[in-house]
Chains A and B, each alone.
Chain A
């Protein structure tokens, strides 16, 4: 049972990691990397480390995502301030 959960979550993590590296949209990639952390925190609970799971859930999937999104919104605001569109963001 635990083994099946481990394999399921592992495959989901790998898929989310691939999405994070290869998706077209940056916000999707950022959210996918948050999903990787969230699934990792489930695995930490399975492996008897609830302290680490709490930290990973609070930091890896919440604060890191927020920090990424803040940085991305700053980059976009710099790009939108440029009059010409030579500042390329995608």
Chain B
């Protein structure tokens, strides 16, 4: 268990370091950085490399935004395997909805609960 925690720390941290390099060296905005990482996650899954990384690092690979691209691709590929080309379109959100739906729901709840009026910085 402890080794799982350490690998997720190291792998998750390293993915974030890649993001920091994109931001600092290539001068990308946060939105550009995240989009780049999502695209690379989906490409890695195309080569079948991201799932082994999840097996290895657990949350270290599922928590960074790269896993979002991975699971979109994974859903599309799983569906394509069953139903052919049309599955590429239909399977996309089969696996990943939890991140998006959680963000939408907690976004609305957060807007209800919290006020944007704090002055302590």
**A and B found bound together:** no
Q: B residues bordering A, Cβ < 8 Å?
A: none
